[in-house]
Structure 1
Amino acid sequence: MDIICFPFERVVEINAFILKTEPGMKGAVDIPKLQGALGRIDNAIVYEGLDDVFEIAAKYTACIAVSHALPDANKRTGLAVALEYLSLNDFELTQENDLLADAVRDL
């Protein structure tokens, strides 16, 4: 399996886009905290053998959402990163957005 690791800069770009187009608090990103959240995913892939595309996408959502490294929209950003990760791996979800939002809100 080719490992796709999201650079923290891309996560920051996604978050900035969300905050530009939707309500949310602007502020500084805690880069070390974000890098730590992304590092948990990379470590799970490399050292724990995590190789299921959907589990990796879920881990992106959860790790970004609970890290609170972004000024706002942590859950929305985590979900957007997961969806982009799935797209990069040739998967497109057709679920209703409300179902996905409800699942992420419960994190």
Structure 2
Amino acid sequence: MVQFVVIDVENVILIHDAVIGKKELRGLAKDKSLEATLERVHNRLQFGFISDAFDLAACYATFIAKGHCFNDANKRTSAAVLFFILTENGIEINFPTLELGDWIIAIASDMKTEVELAGWLRSHTS
């Protein structure tokens, strides 16, 4: 079984705090659980539903974008975690950031799927 670098709650919060603007609403949403959101990803890993770092990055990005665990900046946090996961798992990033933003918006709006995002990532990285 392949070992992947994963991310924990504390580091997702650090990433969120780095991407949120000064005048935006900070903090975790009261009625959502970041722990539960990340556990969904880790369960997929444990049960073999994630085959590579692209699947892992897409899974984190999807669950964070759709989970709305933060009061603001969920999609930006999602994209930043995606970058983190790819980088930490040795994947060189080679795609336009604005295009990734469009993908994250499409994921959050149910216009694209996690599987489609993973495929797009594979086709745009070295």
Normalised by the length of structure 2, the TM-score is: 0.76
Aligned-pair identity in percent equals 27
Name whichever structure is richer in helix by fraction. Answer: 1
Distance in 2 (CA, whole Å) between partners of 1:67 and 1:48 is 22
Residue in structure 2 matched with residue 2 of structure 1 by the alignment:
3
Equivalent residues in 2 for 1:1-107, closer than 5 Å: 1-19=2-20, 22=21, 25-30=24-29, 33-107=33-107
User: Cα deviations across residues 68-94 of structure 1 (Å, max 9, x unaligned)?
Assistant: 111111011011111111001111211
Tell me, which stretches of 5 or more residues in structure 1 are unaligned?
none
CA contact (8 A) 2:75 2:105 kept: yes
Deviation at 1:30, TM superposition (A): 4.1
Give the secondary-structure state (helix, strand or coil) at the position aligned to 1:94: coil
- How many angstroms apart in 2 are the aligned matches of 1:106 and 1:13? 25
Superposition RMSD in Å: 1.8
Structure 1 residues 98 and 24: alpha-carbon distance in aligned structure 2, compared to 1, 3 A threshold: farther
**Unaligned stretches of 5+ residues in structure 2:** 108-126
